[in-house]
Amino acid sequence: MNARLEHLSDESVVEATASLLTALRAEPPLVQCITNAVVTGFTANVLLALGAAPAMVDITGEAGLFAGISSGLLVNLGTPTPEQRAASLEAANGARTAGTPWVLDPVAIGVLPVRTALAHELLALGPTVIRGNASEILALAGRSAGGRGVDALDGTEAAADAARELAARTGGAVAVSGPIDLIVDADAEIRIDNGDALLTRVTGGGCALGAVMAAFLGAARQTGHAPAVAAAAATIVYTIAAEDAAQGADGPGSFAVRLLDALAAVAPADLAARARVAVTAPVAA
């Protein structure tokens, strides 16, 4: 499928989401996750619930090799130990050599120097998708000092220009998470107005989305959809599942459990009536 702007519409993005979810479950992608220690278990369970296969291969000597056989790779900078920093670069280089699509999640960059420097090294290796909150995207583009740790201090639209700049630099897509999610590439801008605020009350609510994007990128290798469409599809499925999980949840604890069940239950046929998507032409730089 050619996913350039002239073939994209609100409806076609939703149709692509259904196609990608079906493909993912028919042939589960193997998703390598180099992610932070706080969210490893939750991320693995999210991928399993969705229908993908997680692999937490994050040590040097194995990370690059495994990136070459994975369907998709996530590099999340939440707790960048020396071992993980080296493994992240090894895996990104391995993915680049093998043509494996990969997601960079530049967690809490800006004021923190070690992870910020690492994020820029990884940026130079051409991530397929960059996923972060608005403050992280602004910091990666050199337009701000970042947020308050993992918390964004900026709104999604405040990072739109930075997202366009990063997408132009990498040739890939940039996903800015927020109350309305924004996915940008050279051909289109996609806004998604699904989700629930309880996602912000669960450790790993955002980080796990990066892994889901890596899974959908793996499925997109089989279907031919563009990275921005895969990132949008991941966001739509994840945020609709969050809405379902929030129904009847007593709070963040029960929501987290219900989210896994909702991800397992969400069906391609549910998406057309539920997804709130708006596709627009890219704004000139």
Task: Return the domain boundaries, the chain.
Answer: 5-280
- Which residue matches tokens 């993005």? 13
Supply the pTM of this predicted model: 0.94
Beta bridge partners of 174: 130, 184
Across the range 147-162, mean pLDDT stands at: 73
Q: How confident is the model at residue 145 (pLDDT cuts 50, 70, 90)?
A: low
Which run of H or of E encompasses 230?
Answer: helix 227-246
Q: At what angle do helices 207-223 and 227-246 cross, to 10 degrees?
A: 130
Beta bridge partners of 74: 33, 103
CA distance 187 to 207: 26
252: Cα separation from own chain's centroid: 21
CA distance 285 to 282: 9
Task: Could you list the residues known to form a binding site for substrate, using ranges.
Answer: 56, 204
- The pLDDT tens digits for 168-211 are 999 999 999 999 999 999 999 999 999 999 999 999 999 999 99
DSSP 71: S
CA distance 159 to 132: 10
Pick the CATH number of 5-280 from 3.30.1370.60, 3.30.56.10, 3.40.1190.20, 3.10.20.740: 3.40.1190.20
Task: Could you list the residues known to form a binding site for ATP, using ranges.
Answer: 131, 177
Q: Residue 116 above 60 pLDDT?
A: yes
Task: Could you list the residues known to form a binding site, using ranges.
Answer: 56, 131, 177, 204
CA distance 257 to 250: 11
Least Cα distance to 214 among 133, 100, 108 occurs for: 100
Across the range 79-93, mean pLDDT stands at: 97
